[in-house]
Chain A
Amino acid sequence: MESISRISSMLETARDLTLEAARDAGPRKTTRPLPALQIKKLLDSRNEREVLDGLRRVIAMQYAIPPQPTLTFFAAVLKTLSNPYPSTRPLVYNYLIHHAEADPDTALLSINTIQKSLSDSNPRVRAMALKTMAGIRVPVISQIVSLAIKKGVSDLSPVVRKAAALACVKCVRLDPTTRPQVEEYITTLLTDKQYYVVGAAVQAFMELCPERLDLVHPAYRKLCRMIADMDEWGQLAVLRLLTGYARQCFPRRTKRSKRTQTREEKAKDFYEELEPQEASEAEYEEVDLMDPDLELFLKSVQPLLHSRNSAVIVAAVRAFLYLSPTNYLHQAIGPLVALLRSPQDVQQVALYDIVQVCLISPSLFVPYIRHFLIRSTEAPQIWRLKFEVLTLIFPHCSKDIQDLLLAELEHFSQGHNAPLVRESVRAIGRCAQASNAITSRRCLSLLLKQIHSRDQNLVGEAIEVVRHLIQRSPDAHRKTVVRLARNLDTLTSPTARASIVWLVGEFAGYDANNNIAADVLRILVRGYADEEDEVRAQIVLLAAKVYLHFLNARNPKQKAIEALDGPKKYETEDAQIMSPAEEDGEGFREHAFNSLTPTEQPEQVSEKSHPIELLYQHTMLLARYTPSYDLRDRARLFRALLSVPSSTELASLLLLAPKPVPQAPSPSESRKNFALGSASLVVGTEAAGLAGLKGYEGIPNWVEEGREPNARLREEDVGRAEYVPASERAVVGVSAGQKLDEALLADGEVRKGKTLDDWLDEEDGETDGEESDEGSGGEEESDGDTEEEESDYESESEEDEKAGLVR
C-alpha cells in the first residue's frame, strides 16, 4: 500500500495547506547555539521549561552534523533525572543511551534512579526505564538488567512485558553469558496472553535463539491463532519462525490420489485448451496430506494476505510456497502481483520475489499477465524483471496472448533504448526456446524481420538469438541460413556478420553438392580487408571448414584413385599441396622460401589446384598479414591442422565437432536456490556467492518421517487453556477489532471475569495504574531529590499506589 505521505502528495490542495501551516509555525525557537555554561545553567534550573530547553539543546548538539561535543554535560543531564518532571525523562534517557559507552562510570550513577523507575506506578514509565536500562551498553550491569527483565516479564502491564521481551535482545548483546536466563524469560513470554507481547517475544526469539525450536512447541497453536492480530513486525517474525518450524516438525506426507481440479488448472483450462493427453496422464497427482497443526498455521496466515505491509505479504507467500504450494499458493498470487503498485523501491524488490515464484509455477501468473506489460517510463531494473516474467509465462499462455506478447516484444525491440532493445530481443529468443515449433518459427521470423533495421544493436542481438535458434534444430533451418547469408550484402553490424559467417561454416557440411559455403567464402574473401577483426576471424574459420569438408569429400575418392593408379601420383600431389602450407607455417624461414616459391608455385597452382584449395590458401595468406596476432595465431593453427590433406581426422575432430545447443536460461535461474524474500535473492549469485550473503538462512529441508518431534508437545496444557474461551479458540484470526467489540460490549458492569478476554483484564490493571499515577504525581514532588532515600522507595511507591487506589 502506498504510504500515507505519498497519497497526500497527490492531494495537492492538502499539501498546500500544510505547507502554509509549516510556514506559519516557522522555526519553533531560535536555533542560536548557547555557550556550554549557559546550557549547564539551564539544566540545573528548577524550572521544567528551562530544563527541557537545555536538554533539547544538548540533544540537538548531539545529532548536529558535524556532532558537537556533549559529553561534558553528562553529570548535569543525569542530575535532571531527580526532577519530578516526567517530560524530561525521554530526552535524558536518550542522552544516556547515546553516551553511556563513552563514560561508563558516570552512566552507572544513573542506574539507581532508573531502577527506582522500574517500580513506578505508571506502566509507561516502567517500560521506558526497562528499555533504557537494557540499552545502556555497560557490561557490568548485565546481571541487574537481567533481574529487571525478570521483573518485567511478570509485570501486570503488557506494555512492560513487551519492553521486557525487546530488552532480552539487548541484554544478550551486552553480555552473552546471560543467555540461559534470557532464554527462560523468552519461554515465559512466548506463552503470554497478549498478542503484542508475544509478537515482540518472537522477534527476540528470532534474534537470539532461532534454533531452540523446543521452546516453540507449547506456544505453537497460540502463535498461529494470534498472528492475525500482531503488529507487522511481530507477524514477520512469526512467519519466519513457523515456516522453518513447520519444515522441521511436520514430515511431508503425500498420497497419490485422483486429481481434482485446482484453481490453477481451471485457470489453465480457461486460458489454454488443454491437450487431452495431458489431462489423462496427470490424472493422478501427489496430494499433500497435511498435519492439522500445519493446516492451522496456513489457514491463519491467509488473512495476512490483506496486509498493507509488503514484507508480510512476501513472507506469507513464502510460507505457502515452501509448505504447501498445491493447496495454498494460488491464493497468494494476486496479493503478490498487487505489490507492483507499491512505491518504486518496494516494487523492485517485490519483482525479484515474483520472478522467483514464477520460476516455480509460471502458470499461476497467466491471469495477471497484463500487470507485467512494460511501460516506457519504467526503470531498467523493473522492465528487465518484467521481461523475465513475461517470457516465463509465455509458454503457458493461449495463442492470442502469445501473439500479444510477441507484438509487445517487437514494439520494444524497435525502440531507441539500446539495453531495452537488447533485452526484448533476448526475450523473444527465450520465448522461442520455450515453446513449440510453430511459435518458435513465429519468433524466428520476427527476429529475421529485425535484421534490416538501421540499429546496429538490434541487428547484432537479433542475429545472435537467431543463431541460437538455428543451432537448436539445424535440419529445419537450412534455408534460413541461406537467407541469412544473402543479407551479408547489406548487413553492417560486425556481430551479426560474424554470427552469420559462423552459421554458414557450420552448415558447410550439409548437402555437399548444393552448398553455398564455398561461394560465400569466395565473396567474403574479396572484402576481407574491410571487415572487422571479429568477422575476419570467422572468415578464416569458414575457409578452414570449407577446405576441410572439401578434403574429407576428396579423400575417399583419392583413395579409390590411389588404389587404381598406385601410390606414385598421390605423393606428388601431396607435396604440391603441402608446400605453400609449409611455407606459411614456418614463418621465420620465410625469406629463404620467398626467394624460391614465387617462381615455382604459380603455374602449379593454376594448373592443378581446385578453386577451394586456392581460396583456402588465399585466405590463409590474408590472415597471415592481419594486424591482429590472435587471428594470425588461429590461422597458424588451422594451417598446421590441415597441413596433411590425407589425414584430416584431427582437424575434423576440432573443427567439425558437434556444437552443444546453446541454452539461454532465464536470467534469474541462477538464483533459484535462494529463499524467497531474502536479500541474497535480490543481490544474486554473482555478488552474494552460491552460499548467499552473510547471515543468509535458507529454508530447511523437510524433516524425515519418524524423526519429527512428538505432536503432543504442541498440546496446550489445560491450566492455561482455561483462560481462553472455547469459542475463541476455535476461531482463527480474531481481529483486534473484534476483541475491541467484545470489550466495548462488556464495558462497565458487565465484567464477569470468565467471559472477558485477556485484553480486558489487562486494561483493568492499566486503568488502575493510571489513576494511581495521577495521585503520585503530586506526592513525588514533595520527595524532592531523593537519591539517598532509595532504600525505602519501594514502600513509598506502594503507598502512592494505595493513595491512587483510594482516590
Chain B
Amino acid sequence: MSAIEALYIFDEHNNLILNHTYIGRPPPPSTLLPLYLQHASPRPSLIYLPTTNPPTLLYSMIQDNLLFFSPLSSDTEPLLVLEFLHRVADALEEFLGSPLLASKITANYDVVAQVIAEIADGGVPCQGEANALRDVVETGPGVLNNLLGKVGLPGGSAPGLQGGPSGRLHTPPLRPAETAQGSAVPWRRSNVRHTSNELYVDLVETLSVTLAPSGRPLSAFAYGSIAFTSKVSGVPDLLLSLSTGGKGGGMGNRGDQLRSVIERVVFHPCVRLNRWNSDGVLSFVPPDGRFALCGYEVDLLGPDAPLTAGKTAANNLNLPAMVEITTGLGSSGSDFEVRMTQPSSSSSRAGSAAAASLQSNLGSGSRPGSFRAGSGGGESKGSALENLTVRVPLPAGVRNISDMRPSKGEAHWNPADGSVEWKVPSKDFGPAGVVLRCTVQGPLSDADEAGGMLNGVTATTYDYTDDEPATYQSQHDSDSTAGGTNGAQDNSRTRAQKNRALMPTSTTLSFSIKGWLASGLKVESLLVDTKKSRGLGPEVKPYKGVKYLTVSRDGIEVRC
C-alpha cells in the first residue's frame, strides 16, 4: 500500500491553508495539528498517533516556513511519503515561484488544486517532475504571466489579458491540454521556446567540518549540489565537464580523478549514467527551467586519509576563516575567548582563480552585461566572504553574559536558545583576526555549596588504598578525592570549578563565500551537442554562466 491519503499545508502560524483529501477518511487537520505540536521541536518527521481514528502515521516536512502534513493509516515506506512531500513543494514552487508563500497558495487555489491532483492520481504518486507537470496543468490565460510567461510560452504571453477583456480568445497563450503528445522526454515539458537562450550552472557546497580541541580536523565534508538552469528552446542535449582543480591526480583518466574526488553522487534522472561511468562527464537532456542536476560529497581530508593521523592540521582544509575558543580565562575562570582568524595558506587559493576560470572557459559566447548578480564577485576574497557569524552555545546554567567585548563586529546574547551570536562584517575581518571575550554569570544562589555537605559523610575518609592505580589511566582522581575535605579553604578553586560547568564546549562558524568551492571543483566546459539536440538552430549560441558558492551554516564546529 503506497497510496497517499491526504495532504495538508499550514502556514507559518500553523493556520491551515490547504486541505486536500485523496482517498478515504483521514483524520482532519484540526485533530492532527495539536498532536503534532505536542512534540518538542525539532519534531520528528514521522509520528505515530494511536489515539486518532483510524490510528495514523503522520508525516511532516517543513519547507519555506510552510508545514506539510500527510497522514496515512497503514504502513508505507516512510521515505516515499517524505519524498512525495518534497516533490509537492518543488512543484508548487515551480508554478508559484520561489519562495513558496502562504499568500501565493491561497491566491492560486486553481493551479494548486491541479498540481496536487496531477502529482498523485487517486493517491498513487505518479508524476515527480515539476517541469513535466507544465504539460498538464492549466494555468490559463493571464495567469502568473509575470512569473512564468517569460519562459518563452508560445504565442506571446499577452499581458493584456490580465487587464480587461480582450479579443484574443481564439489563441489562448498556453493550452497545455492541447499539446497533444507527451514530451519525448518524460521530465521535460514539450514545445519549449525561449527568445534568449541561457544556461546557468550553480555549484553550491555546504561545509560540515568538525575540529578537535587540538585543531585537528576529525571530519571535513563538503556536500555539493549542482543547480542547473536551462532556458533553451527545443530539446537540447548538453555535456557538462567538471575538473578537480588538481586534486586526485595520478588516478588514471580524468573521469577516475573526478570520481575519486566527488563521491556518492546522485543524479537527476536525466543524466546518462553510462557516460558518467565511462568518461566522468555529465551528459543530459535537461528539464526546462531550474532543477537540481546532481548531488555529491567531497571528503576534504582526502578519501583515504587515516582517521587518526595527527599531522593534518586545519590549515590543510584551506578554509577562508577559522575559529578558536579558549575557556576558563580570567581570575575566576568565568571568561572565554573566541578568536577568528584567516588561515594564511588559503588566501592565495581562494582568490580570483574561480572567477578567472569562469571567464576563460565559458566566456566565448557571453555578453558581459548579463552576468547574474554575484557571479562576478570573486575578484578579491575579502569581498566574497559574507555573513561571518560565530555562534557559541552555552549551557543552561548560564544566567547572563555580563560582559561581551568583541574587537570587531557585534555580539549578541540570546537567552532563549542560550547562545552568543557574534556577527563580523567581512570588511572588518582581516588577516590579523578578530577576538570576542565574554564573561559568564552562573546561577544566583550558591546552592551547590550546601549540597556538597548534604550526605554528612563528607567528613570521613576511607583509607583503603588502591594498590594498583596504574591499571587505570586516570591517576589524578585519587588526589582530587582528597581535595573533598579541605575544599572549603580553597575557595577560588571551587569557583573556577563551578565556572567550568558554565563554559561552552563548542563553537560553530557560519559564512558564505562566493566564487570559491571548498572542493576546488570547477566547471571545465558546458557544450550543447548540436547534432543530438533538436529544435535548436545551429546558429544559436546560448549564453552560459557559472557560479560557485560555498556555504557554512553552523557547519564548522570547533570543540574545546
Contacts and interface: CB of A to CB of B under 8 A. Distances in A.
Given A4-B290, A28-B162, A86-B178, A63 B18 contact: yes
B549 A11 contact: yes
Contacts of B423: none
A4 B457 contact: no
Contact of B184 (A163, A170, A520, A763): A763
Nearest to A407: B212
Given A415-B505, A741-B532, A86 B177 contact: yes
A344 interface: yes
Contacts of A6: 63
A344 B45 contact: yes
A332 B155 CA distance: 49
Q: Which of B121, B142, B393 has the most CB of A within 10 A?
A: B121
A203 B237 CA distance: 31
A279 interface: no
Interface residues of B, number: 178
Contacts of B218: 370, 373, 404, 408
Nearest to A56: B110
Contact of A307 (B266, B290, B373): B266
A677 B506 CA distance: 35
A1 to B, nearest CB: 4
Contacts of A15: 98-99
Contacts of B62: 345
Contact of B2 (A31, A157, A207, A527): A207
Contact of A306 (B273, B301, B497, B506): B273
A400 B307 contact: yes
Interface stretch (B71-79, B358-366, B402-410, B425-433): B71-79
Interface in B152-179: 161-162, 165, 169, 172, 175-179
23 contacts: A5-B99, A8-B227, A13-B374, A14-B202, A14-B372, A18-B99, A21-B97, A25-B146, A63-B112, A87-B141, A87-B172, A94-B113, A157-B181, A158-B182, A207-B2, A207-B3, A309-B128, A334-B264, A369-B307, A381-B42, A482-B466, A695-B75, A744-B237
B362 to A, nearest CB: 18
A139 to B, nearest CB: 15
Nearest to B393: A376
Interface stretch (A119-127, A175-183, A585-593, A607-615): A119-127
A364 to B, nearest CB: 14
A598 to B, nearest CB: 27
Interface in A519-571: 519-520, 523-524, 526-527, 529-531
Contacts of A683: 46, 48, 57
A200 interface: yes
Given A5-B64, A11-B227, A87-B177, A740 B97 contact: no
Given A236-B2, A497-B455, A740-B184, A401 B308 contact: yes
A747 B534 CA distance: 10
Interface in A648-696: 677-680, 682-683, 687-688, 692-696
Contacts of B104: 22
B77 A679 contact: yes
A334 B99 CA distance: 32
A159 interface: yes
Contacts of A408: 218
A773 B178 contact: yes
Interface in A57-105: 59-60, 62-65, 67, 85-87, 89-91, 94, 97
A503 interface: no
A583 interface: no
B278 interface: no
A773 B82 CA distance: 39
Nearest to A731: B274
Nearest to B264: A338
Contact of A679 (B76, B178, B532): B76
A47 B165 contact: yes
Interface in B241-289: 263-274, 283-285
Contacts of A741: 532
A11 B547 CA distance: 10
Contact of A124 (B135, B143, B292, B485): B135
A166 B180 CA distance: 20
Contacts of B106: 64
B136 interface: yes
Contact of A524 (B143, B284, B457): B457
Given A157-B181, A232-B83, A737-B283, 20 more contacts: A5-B63, A9-B64, A25-B97, A87-B177, A128-B177, A173-B23, A196-B186, A203-B124, A306-B273, A310-B82, A345-B60, A376-B508, A486-B466, A516-B462, A516-B464, A527-B457, A529-B456, A743-B184, A763-B184, A767-B181
B181 A769 contact: yes
Contacts of B394: 416
Interface stretch (B313-321, B329-337, B467-475): B467-475
A695 to B, nearest CB: 3
Contacts of B396: 416
A737 B284 contact: yes
B462 A162 contact: no
A134 interface: yes
Contacts of A482: 464, 466
Given A10-B549, A314-B77, A306 B265 contact: yes
B206 interface: yes
Given A86-B177, A306-B273, A404 B466 contact: no
A736 interface: yes
Contact of A738 (B113, B272, B480, B501): B272
A737 B273 CA distance: 9
Given A233-B128, A341-B223, A694 B290 contact: no
A688 B472 contact: no
B1 A236 contact: no
Interface string A476-490: 000100110111111
A123 B190 CA distance: 14
Contacts of B162: 28-29
A95 to B, nearest CB: 9
Contact of B110 (A47, A60, A492): A60
Contacts of A350: 79
Interface string A762-776: 010011011001100
A203 B80 CA distance: 13
B178 A695 contact: no
B551 interface: yes
Contact of A134 (B101, B122, B225): B122
A634 B331 CA distance: 52
A63 B474 contact: no
A492 B124 contact: no
Interface in A1-47: 1-15, 17-19, 21-22, 24-25, 27-29, 31, 47
Interface stretch (A448-456, A706-714, A721-729): A448-456
B144 interface: yes
B204 A59 contact: no
B541 interface: no
Nearest to A206: B2
Interface in A476-516: 479, 482-483, 485-492, 497, 516
* Most chain B Cβ neighbours within 10 Å, of A5, A25, A403, A414: A5
Interface in A147-170: 157-159, 162-163, 166-167, 169-170
Interface stretch (B86-94, B339-347, B349-357, B520-528): B86-94
A777 interface: yes
B184 A7 contact: no
A204 interface: yes
Interface in B449-495: 451-452, 454-458, 460-462, 464, 466-468, 471-474, 477, 480-481, 484-485
B97 A22 contact: yes
B324 interface: no
